[in-house]
A and B are shown apart, each in its own frame.
Chain A
Amino acid sequence: MDLFASLSTGTGYWNPLAWLLATVVAAVIVYLIWRRGESGYKKGTAQTTPFISGNPEPAKGMVHVRASNLYWGYLDALKGYYDLIVPAHTGVVNDYLLWYLGVTAALIIVVVVFV
C-alpha cells in the first residue's frame, strides 16, 4: 500500500502532502517578506497599546467581544427562518414524539403508496 498515494475522488485527486509542501513554501516566502519589515518595533511601549482617540484603555474584561455579540447581522438577516425553526425546538418530549411519529407516518405513505 502506498502511504503517500493521492486520494481519488472519482473525478479528481487530492494529495495532502503536496498541499503541505506548498503551505511550507508559502510560509517561507511570508517569513522572508516579514523579515524585510520594520525592525524598530518595540514590545511593551506605546507602539503596542491601542489608540482610542486619546481615551484611556478600558479594562481587559470589557473589551472582549462575547459570543452573543457575534453574527447578529447574520441572525437578523435570517430572522424569518429562525422565527420558524427555533420555536419548533420546544424541549417538550411529547412534541419530540409527535415529530417522530409524524415522520414515520409520512415515510409509510411515501414508501407504500409511491413505491
Chain B
Amino acid sequence: MNGFLMTNAPALLIMLPLIGAFVTPFIGRISPRVRSAWVILIMTLTTLTALLLASDVFLNGTQIYVFGAADPDLAIPPDSGGIPIRIIFTVDAMSALMQVIGAITGFAVLLYSISADRIHSGLESFYTLFLLMIAGIMGMVSTGDLFNFFVFLEILSISSAGLIAYRIDGGLAVEAALKYFVLSTIGAMVILIGIGIYYGEYNALNIAVIASRMQFTLLDQIALVLIIAALAMKCGSVPMHFWTPDAYSMAPSSITAMLVVASQASLYGLFRVVFTLYNVTLNAMTVGWIIIILGVLSMVVGVTMAIPQKNVKRLMAYHAISQTGYMLLGVGVGLAVLGNQPLMESFGYIAMEGGIFHIINHAMYKGLLFLTAGAIFFRIGTYNLNKMGGLGHSMKYTMIFFIIGALAIAGIPPLNGFASKLMIYESVFAFNPVLAVIAMVVSILTLASFVKVFHSIFMGPKLPEYETVQEAPVPMLIGMGVLAAIVILFGLFPQSVVNGLIAPAAHALADQSGYIAAVLGGA
C-alpha cells in the first residue's frame, strides 16, 4: 500500500483535488456540513500526499511519474525513438518544496475559510474553484512538460479569476477579476508562443529533452523573454504588478492568501525556465541582472506604494509585491554567477537559498497577514484603516497573530522573515553592496508601514462603534495559528529548515544535468 502511494503520489497530488473539485457540487447538495467535511478530507489527503512525496524526494532524490506508461518510471518507451512521448511529472527537491508550500497554505486557508466564508452563498462553486486552484498549483510545480505547465497555468488562472470575482462587491470584485483574467490570458498565450517556438525547434515539449538540446539560438532568446516576462507579470513583478493590488484586495481573504501561493507558482516557473531549461547556455550575468533589476524595482516600488494605502488589503498586496522582489533578488544573484563555481560556492548558493527560503517564509507570514485582515473584516465589515482602531481590546488573538506576521515580514528576529532576509543581505552584499543596502532600507520601510497598520487597527481606546466586536471564530484562529506556528518554528530553527528543505531545493534548481538525467537516464 505504501509502495503504491509513493509510486503514484505525483499523480494523486493532482487527482485528489481534481476529483474533489468535480464532486463538490454534488456533495454540497446533501448539506453544508457534509460539503465542508468533504473539502477538508480532500485537502487533508492532498496535504498528506504532498508531505509523503516530499519526504521521499528529499530522502531518495528526484521522482518521475509517466502518465499512461506500463511502469510510472518508464520515461522513454522502447519504441519511441529515444523520446519521452508521454506527459511526465518530474518532482525534484524544488518541486517538492513548492508542493509543501501549496499544501500547507491550502490546508490552513481551508480551515479558516470554512468559518470565514460560511455566511456566503454559492459555496459549492467556491470550494470547487478552490480545489481547482490547488490542482493548478500542484500541476504547475510538478510537471516536467511545458505544454502541461501551460494547461495547469490556465486552470490556476481561470479558477483564481472566478474566486477573485466571488463576492461581486458592487461589481468591483468582478472588475478586478476581469483585469486579472485579461492579463493572465494574454500572458498565458505569450507563454504558449514561447512553448511553440521550442516545439518547432526541438520537436519536444518535455523540459528535460529541450534542456538537453538547448542551443540558445535567436528564437530561444525570444522564447526566453516571452516566458520570463509573462511569468514575472504573473508573479506581480514591477512594473507589471498593477493587477496585484486590485485582485488581492477584492478577493476574499482566504483566496488572497492562496493567490500569494499562486504567484509563487509562477515564480517557480520563471526559475525553472532560466535554471533548468537554459542554465549556462544563456548569458547568466545579463539575465541574472534582468531578474535582479525586476527584484529591486519590486522591492522599492512595492513598499513605497504600500505606505500611503488606506485599504489594509491593498497595503498588504503592495507588500506582497515588495517581498517577491527579495525572492527575485536572491535567486537573480544566484543566476548571475551561475557557471562560476567559486562564486557560486562563495555566495551564489546562499543567495539562491535565501531567495527560495523567502518563498516559503513569505507564503506563511503573508498568508497569515491576509487571514488576520480577513478576520478583522469578518468582525467589523471594512478594510478601511481610517475607520479602524482599538480592536486590540476585543481581538487579542488576532492581534497576536498579526504581530507575528508583521514582525516576520519586516525581518525582525527571531522570526522566519529575518532568517531568509539575513541570508539574502549577506550573500547579495558579497555580489553588490548597493543591492544589499536597498534590501535593508526596504525592510525598514516595511516595518514602518506595519507599525502604521498595527497602530491603526489595534491601538488606541476602544471605539464606540466597535464596543460589541468579538474575537474571530475558533476555526479562523486555528487556520491563523497553523501559519503562525510555522513562522515561529522556521524562525527558531532556520538552519534545520535550510538543511532539510531549502539547500536541496536550491541545488536541485541549479543542477540542470541532474534534472535531465532523472528523466532521460543520463542520455
Contact = CB atoms under 8 A, between A and B. Distances in A.
B402 interface: no
Given A10-B427, A65-B455, A115 B240 contact: no
Interface string A37-80: 00000000000000000000001110111111011001100100
Interface in B498-512: 498-500
B423 A3 contact: no
B496 A5 contact: yes
B492 interface: yes
Given A11-B430, A63-B460, A16 B226 contact: no
| Interface residue tally on A, bucketed by range | 35 or more
A38 B150 CA distance: 68
B182 A97 contact: yes
A111 B287 contact: yes
Contacts of A75: 307-308
- Secondary structure of the A contact surface, majority rule: helix
A110 to B, nearest CB: 7
A99 B242 contact: yes
Interface in B438-470: 448, 452-453, 455-456, 459-465
B432 interface: no
B83 interface: no
B91 to A, nearest CB: 22
Nearest to A9: B426
A60 B229 contact: no
B435 interface: no
A70 to B, nearest CB: 5
Contacts of A86: 305, 308
A74 B355 CA distance: 30
Residue among A20, A96, A108 facing the most chain B CB atoms (10 A cut-off):
A96
Contacts of B226: 104
Contacts of A4: 493
Contacts of A8: 350, 495, 498
Interface in B358-376: none
A19 interface: yes
A10 B495 contact: no
Contact of A111 (B183, B221, B422, B425): B221
B413 interface: yes
B286 A70 contact: no
Interface stretch (B102-110, B261-269, B384-392): B384-392
Nearest to A63: B461
Contact of B290 (A14, A20, A67, A110): A110
B386 A68 contact: yes
A66 B456 CA distance: 6
A66 B312 CA distance: 13
Given A20-B492, A78-B304, A67 B413 contact: no
B283 to A, nearest CB: 4
Contact of A104 (B229, B388, B413, B462): B229
Contact of A67 (B305, B386, B390, B430): B386
Given A99-B242, A100-B233, A64 B500 contact: no
Contacts of A66: 385-386, 389, 456
Contacts of A104: 190, 225-226, 229-230
B233 A7 contact: no
Contact of A19 (B287, B389, B414, B461): B414
A103 B240 contact: yes
Contacts of A114: 286
B32 interface: no
Contacts of B386: 66-68
A112 B216 CA distance: 11
B222 interface: yes
B43 interface: no
A83 to B, nearest CB: 12
A93 B225 contact: no
Contacts of A65: 455, 460
Contact of A115 (B239, B283, B414, B496): B283
A113 to B, nearest CB: 10
B463 A93 contact: no
Contacts of B496: 1-3, 5
Nearest to B466: A61
B492 A96 contact: no
Interface of A: 1-12, 14, 16-17, 19-20, 59-61, 63-68, 70-71, 74-75, 78, 81-82, 85-86, 88-89, 91, 93, 95-97, 99-100, 103-104, 107-108, 110-112, 114-115
Given A66-B389, A100-B187, A112-B225, 16 more contacts: A12-B426, A14-B413, A19-B413, A60-B461, A64-B460, A68-B385, A85-B304, A86-B305, A86-B308, A88-B239, A91-B246, A93-B178, A103-B240, A107-B229, A108-B222, A108-B225
17 contacts: A9-B422, A10-B430, A14-B419, A20-B414, A60-B461, A61-B389, A63-B460, A64-B389, A67-B388, A67-B456, A71-B308, A71-B452, A100-B186, A100-B187, A103-B232, A108-B225, A115-B286
In the complex, the 5 A-B pairs of residues with the closest C-beta atoms, listed nearest first: A16-B414, A67-B385, A64-B460, A60-B461, A67-B456
